[in-house]
Amino acid sequence: MDQVIVHVGCMSLKDSQELARHAAHIGASGIAVIAPSFFKPSTAEVLQTFLQEIAAVAPTLPFYYYHLPAVTGVKVPAREVLQNIEKLIPSFRGVKFSGSDLLDFGQCVSCSPPHWSLLYGVDEQLLAGLVLGAHGAVGSTYNYLGCHINNLISAFNRGDLIQARSIQFQLQELLSYAIKLGFDLGVNKQLMIEVSGLSLGPPRLPVRPCPHPHAKEIAHKHQTIFL
Ligand SMILES: CC(=O)N[C@@H]([C@@H](O)[C@H](O)[C@H](O)CO)[C@@H](O)CC(=O)C(=O)O
């Protein structure tokens, strides 16, 4: 792996700082930080300050804000977090945007300087993210669909929207089938195991392990769609 970005976001600022220092110490390529979800930041300003205090202990590492509103419950639009952020965090280099609000995403792209990376994280709508200017993608299904998604991105880059759309529709078909069976982290991990053939063990609590028949059904669906 050429580049490893270590996620260091925690509920506690001090824990995040400790992990950020450790990431710098072990030579990580960058750090990413999610908003804390127990005591939630209520404004963009306080979230910026939280991120700033973490970035400050590892100032040489490129810093990415990880925007995942459906999981954190933090409602602050990402575009507000980006306002003047480089004055507070000189190492700021981009966002992993895992929200489905394309207005917010578009505004993040349009306010970004060229040296930032806007990475889109809703796998089932990646093509929409690319159209709006995403520079790349980070998503859970890419653990086992990476080569197809690379093909989608290549097709998009050469202007072949028909091919890009066809791959996006394949991913949507797999995910909507999985969602009907109860797609969650446990199912996703099991799918990764089935597709890769690697023994990755069960998920950690409180994530439930996937019911075995569901994993088999989804893996079969994956084969019929992609192989
Ligand atoms: C809410 C959520 O889990 N989003 C995923 C997506 O990859 C998501 O699993 C995928 O789009 C299917 O809905 C990622 O953006 C985030 C993620 O995988 C993670 O941080 O673990």
Query: Which residues have a Cβ under 8 Å from the Cβ of 185 and sit 6 or more positions away?
Result: 140, 203, 207
Verify that 147 and 124 share a domain, yes or no: no
Q: How many residues are present in the chain? A: 227
Q: Is 66 a catalytic residue?
A: yes
Verify that 90 and 167 share a domain, yes or no: no
Query: Which residues have a Cβ under 8 Å from the Cβ of 47 and sit 6 or more positions away?
Result: 35, 41, 74, 76, 81
Verify that 15 and 122 share a domain, yes or no: yes
pLDDT value of position 98: 98
- Contact (Cβ atoms closer than 8 angstroms) between residue 32 and residue 65: yes
**Does residue 1 register a pLDDT over 80?**
no
Let me know if 16 is exposed, middle or buried by CB neighbors in 10 A (0-12, 13-18, 19+).
buried
Which of 124, 139, 154 is at the close of a domain?
139
Query: Which residues have a Cβ under 8 Å from the Cβ of 68 and sit 6 or more positions away?
Result: 34, 35, 96, 98, 99, 121
Q: Is 40 a catalytic residue?
A: no
Verify that 208 and 189 share a domain, yes or no: yes
Q: CA-to-CA distance for 130 and 197, rounded, in angstroms?
A: 31
Convert the pLDDT of each residue in 146-165 to its tens digit.
999 999 999 999 999 999 99
123 touches ligand 1 (CB under 6 Å): yes
pLDDT value of position 212: 81
Q: Choose the weakest-confidence range: 7-16, 45-54, 56-65, 206-215.
A: 206-215
Closest atom of ligand 1 to CA, residue 96:
15
Verify that 73 and 173 share a domain, yes or no: no
Query: Across the chain, what does the average pLDDT equal?
Result: 95
Verify that 24 and 132 share a domain, yes or no: yes
Verify that 164 and 105 share a domain, yes or no: no
Structural domain span for residue 147: 141-226
Verify that 122 and 38 share a domain, yes or no: yes
Convert the pLDDT of each residue in 172-189 to its tens digit.
999 999 999 888 999 999
Question: Alpha-carbon Rg of the chain, whole angstroms?
Answer: 18
pLDDT value of position 196: 86
What total number of domains does the chain contain? Answer: 2
Verify that 157 and 219 share a domain, yes or no: yes
- For the entire predicted model, the pTM comes to 0.95
Residue 107 phi, psi (nearest 5): -70, -30
Verify that 219 and 180 share a domain, yes or no: yes
Of all protein residues, the one whose alpha carbon is nearest to atom 18 of ligand 1 is 140
> Using the 8-state DSSP alphabet, how is residue 134 labeled?
-
pLDDT value of position 213: 85
Q: CA-to-CA distance for 117 and 88, rounded, in angstroms?
A: 18
Verify that 194 and 128 share a domain, yes or no: no
ipTM for the assembly? 0.96
Closest atom of ligand 1 to CA, residue 71:
1
72 touches ligand 1 (CB under 6 Å): no
What CATH number is given to the structural domain containing 62? 3.20.20.70
Which of 88, 105, 139 is at the close of a domain?
139
Which of 113, 139, 165 is at the close of a domain?
139
Verify that 165 and 209 share a domain, yes or no: yes
- The tokens describing 183, both together, are 């797609």
